[in-house]
Structure 1
């Protein structure tokens, strides 16, 4: 199983951020990728295993690309009100409960902050990252195209049940600082590109796994 990242009991919510202060979420893989290739990981039902601020994350999805593709931050560079967004690394650890990178690679956690208001908008956990560069450490600032690592194929385990290169994927989870983010509903096996919006953080939805 994947390694859990937080307690399951919610902590006290942070102060709300403005409704207009939203940031788009894009595929965490540079170039072409595939949404929910096999129809098994749609956000409406896909497992959420990590957490931040004492909450389980809001939603998750698997995005596919054969091994060797560049993995990047999924957060946009500006909010919908035009404020610059800064992203920093908050988690770097083996993603699987075994602690062995061979079982599923790295989990890299990212935090998006509105630099105009100073408010934290959201976090994302990018899981199954291979070949992490040495500069990707907790506290590092990353831009939209900063390389976090690559897609990889890991050995079969309860954490990573993949038996071919076409099954290589990034498991992405997103969570708001306050209330809930949302995902953009789409059909299985949909092709994505760098500018495809797959979700929105900073929204005020009322629960987990809600479509925008």
Structure 2
């Protein structure tokens, strides 16, 4: 077990009301005010688990943070050339400002070759009022990374991390057409476990669709909110 834009801010407030309805048996042990919303890491329209093979309940988790396997993962689809952004909201459910900084920039595939799967960009969300780390996210299969996206850089909700892209077919990236281009997203809490919003395969998303929550305190992973 682990150790202990404006519109996006408005959505967080709505989540507090909904989260309060979650029964205690669902695994929450702390106030829902700790939460920050997780959004698709793609600006504009995208698709959740387009082919029904990469939903969080069973999708592989590849990366670790703080010595623990990430909590959940999902593939979010969009044809090559879409702008990739941070998945974290700008305010917590308690209204605290959230800052996000880059903690990892490296080739995502074990070969170390960008042609096999693009960049893995790791991001860390921090509650600035409490000066506390909330969670991290790994955004994988990023193409055309800007020069300014380096470890230590601070990014906003619409800062361009790169683009969706197509890479050569390999054991790390098994895609045969542009419709299969996607971002592999993984999320992990600093304390206990984050959660994902359960939805059907091939669900259309916007960049304001909440897909998960970090800073909540579920008892296991992967777990639906």
- How would you bin the TM-score normalised by the shorter chain? over 0.9
Cα distance, 1:116 vs structure 2: 0.3
Kindly indicate whether residue 90 of structure 2 is the aligned counterpart of residue 48 of structure 1: no
1:172 is paired with a residue whose SS is: strand
SS for the counterpart of 1:102 is: helix
Aligned positions, number = 201
Using structure 2 for the length normalisation, give the TM-score: 0.87
- Match in the other structure for 2:99: 86
Is the 2:32–2:93 Cα contact (8 Å) retained in structure 1? no
Q: In 1, Cα distance between the equivalents of 2:100 and 2:30?
A: 17
- Equivalent residue number for residue 125 of structure 2: 112
Structure 2 partner of 1:135: 148
Cα deviations across residues 78-133 of structure 1 (Å, max 9, x unaligned)? 00000000000000000000000000000000000000001100000000000000
Distance in 1, Cα, partners of 2:160 & 2:110: 25
- Counting helix residues as a fraction of each chain, which structure ranks higher? 2
- Residue aligning to 1:191: 204
2:192 aligned with 1:179 = yes
Distance in 1 (CA, whole Å) between partners of 2:210 and 2:173 is 26
Question: What SS does structure 2 have at the residue aligned with 1:77?
Answer: coil
Unaligned runs of 5+ in 1: 1-9
Residues 68 and 137 of structure 1, relative CA distance in 2, 3 Å threshold: same
Cα RMSD (Å): 1.3
Q: What is the aligned partner in structure 2 of residue 13 from structure 1?
A: 3
Question: C-alpha distance in 2, partners of 1:97/1:17?
Answer: 37
